[in-house]
Structure 1
């Protein structure tokens, strides 16, 4: 029987503020995407195991394109392996909107297709005692 947690996908979107630009051309450091991967991995763990879990390691990180201040990023995490306490997750950070300062100070456009900026594979761990949650389950907390 296939584990129902396999293939679970969580997506976050975030605007990159200009305060995060560190380099010429309003470039943002690649670690910004890794922080986003941690955020989306936390939601994956909550949905799969009812616990925030801990990020254990990356087995691969690829910086494929620039992230700039003013971008709108879409970060996607997909569970690809479920162990007793570990989960392997594939990550992709895409630029879905980007500023166009050459057209005007506030001009921007939707990128279709999005620009893949960073990909990674990571491992998270959850406690043995974490109650199993079905994907998409919502329970009331008092």
Structure 2
């Protein structure tokens, strides 16, 4: 498949309690960025047949917390295609959140989902061999 602007890939993941670093079961912002790296790799494999390298972020916005017990969905969308570089927009949304006040395993579906993190980055694919 050749790279096409607008192509996107989405991953979902449960955030385990072992990843909580701060009070209130918060995870660090780097957790979301690691998920962005994973979904960018998946996107690059689909569009270029290569895992690519993430060259850098141009913007990162932490809009809401990600917590242990959340179900998070991350999406990478191709926004620009160059010769070897690709610009990618990312969004992390919290779909479900633990509700410990109702019981140790209680959780709620968030409707609408909570947008936690947005970012823009550039990935680079190797030159053809």
Gap regions ≥5 residues in structure 2: none
Aligned to 1:104: 103
CA RMSD of aligned residues (A): 1.1
**For residues 67 and 30 of structure 2, what CA distance do their matches in structure 1 show?**
13
Of the two, which has the highest radius of gyration?
A: 1
Q: Provide the C-alpha distance between the structure 1 equivalents of 2:31 and 2:13, rounded to a whole number of angstroms.
A: 11
Contact 2:94–2:110 (Cα < 8 Å) also in 1:
yes
Contact 2:3 2:48 in 1 (8 A): no
Provide structure 1 residue ranges, at least 5 long, that are not aligned to the other structure: 131-142
Residue 124 of structure 1 corresponds to which residue in structure 2? 123
TM-score (norm 2): 0.97
Residue 128 of structure 1: how far off its partner (Å): 1.5
Greater share of strand residues, 1 or 2?
A: 2
2:10 paired residue number: 11
Report deviation, 1:5. Answer: 1.1
Q: Aligned equivalents of 2:33 and 2:9: distance in 1? A: 15
Alignment of 1:43-62 (within 5 A): 43-62=42-61
2:96/2:109 contact within 8 Å kept: yes
